Chains A and B, each alone.
Chain A
Amino acid sequence: MTKLIYVAIMSAFVNNVVLGQMFGVNAVIRGSEKIGYALRLSLSVIVVTFLSSVVTWPVGEFLLNRFGLSFLQPMVFLIIEAVIVLVLVKLVKVKFPKRKQVYSQILPLIVINSAVLGVILMNVQVGYSFLRSTVNSVCGGLGFAAAVIILAGVRERIRFNDVPKPFEGVPILLVVSGLMAIAFYGFTGLV
Chain B
Amino acid sequence: MKKDTIFKRLYHGILIENPSVVLCLGLCPTLAVTTTAKNGLAMGIVTAAVLILSEFVISLLKRIIPKKDRMIVYVLIAACWTTIVQLVLNAYFPDISESLGIFVALTAVNGLIFGRADGYAIENNPFLSIFDGIGFGIGYTLIITILGAIREILGIGTIFGIRIIPDGYTLSIAALAPGAFFLLACLIAIANKIKGGRRV
- Residue A19 CB within 8 A of the other chain: yes
- Residue B96 CB within 8 A of the other chain: no
Q: Which residues of chain B are within 8 angstroms of A121 by Cβ–Cβ distance?
A: 102, 105-106
On whether the beta carbons of B185 and A73 are closer than 8 Å, the reply is: no
Q: Which residues of chain B are within 8 angstroms of A165 by Cβ–Cβ distance?
A: 192-193, 196
Q: Which of B8-16, B39-47, B71-79, B129-137 contacts A (4 or more CB under 8 A)?
A: B71-79
On whether the beta carbons of B177 and A181 are closer than 8 Å, the reply is: yes
On whether the beta carbons of B111 and A26 are closer than 8 Å, the reply is: yes
In the assembled complex, the Cα of A9 lies from the Cα of B2 at a distance in Å of 56
What's the interface size class on A, roughly? 35 or more
On whether the beta carbons of A111 and B75 are closer than 8 Å, the reply is: yes
1/0 contact trace for A46-80 toward B, CB 8 Å?
A: 00000000000000000000000001111100110
Q: Which residues of chain B are within 8 angstroms of A75 by Cβ–Cβ distance?
A: 76, 79-80, 82-83, 108
- Residue A32 CB within 8 A of the other chain: no
CB of A178 to closest CB in B, whole Å = 3
A181-B181 contact, Cβ under 8 Å, with A26-B25, A111-B71: yes
Q: Which residues of chain B are within 8 angstroms of A169 by Cβ–Cβ distance?
A: 192
What's the interface size class on B, roughly? 35 or more
Q: Which residues of chain A are within 8 angstroms of B27 by Cβ–Cβ distance?
A: 25-26, 29
- Residue B159 CB within 8 A of the other chain: no
In the assembled complex, the Cα of A107 lies from the Cα of B115 at a distance in Å of 18
- Residue A125 CB within 8 A of the other chain: yes
Q: Which residues of chain B are within 8 angstroms of A185 by Cβ–Cβ distance?
A: 178
Within 8 A of B (CB), among A128-172: 164-172
In the assembled complex, the Cα of A178 lies from the Cα of B102 at a distance in Å of 22
On whether the beta carbons of B189 and A171 are closer than 8 Å, the reply is: yes
**For residue A179, which residue of chain B has the nearest CB?**
B178
On whether the beta carbons of A112 and B75 are closer than 8 Å, the reply is: yes
- Residue A104 CB within 8 A of the other chain: no
On whether the beta carbons of A113 and B185 are closer than 8 Å, the reply is: no
CB of B150 to closest CB in A, whole Å = 14
A71-B111 contact, Cβ under 8 Å, with A19-B177, A22-B28: no
Find B102's partner among A25, A79, A118 (CB 8 Å cutoff): A118
In the assembled complex, the Cα of A170 lies from the Cα of B181 at a distance in Å of 11
Q: Which residues of chain B are within 8 angstroms of A72 by Cβ–Cβ distance?
A: 83
**For residue A110, which residue of chain B has the nearest CB?**
B109
Q: Which residues of chain B are within 8 angstroms of A111 by Cβ–Cβ distance?
A: 71-72, 75, 109
Within 8 A of A (CB), among B151-181: 173, 176-181
On whether the beta carbons of A74 and B189 are closer than 8 Å, the reply is: no
On whether the beta carbons of B28 and A25 are closer than 8 Å, the reply is: yes
- Residue A182 CB within 8 A of the other chain: yes
CB of B148 to closest CB in A, whole Å = 14
- Residue A23 CB within 8 A of the other chain: yes
CB of B83 to closest CB in A, whole Å = 5
1/0 contact trace for A12-23 toward B, CB 8 Å?
A: 000000011111
In the assembled complex, the Cα of A122 lies from the Cα of B106 at a distance in Å of 11
Question: Using a CB–CB distance below 8 Å, which chain B residues touch chain A?
Answer: 24-28, 31-32, 71-72, 75-76, 79-80, 82-83, 86-87, 90, 102, 105-106, 108-111, 114, 173, 176-182, 184-186, 188-190, 192-193, 196
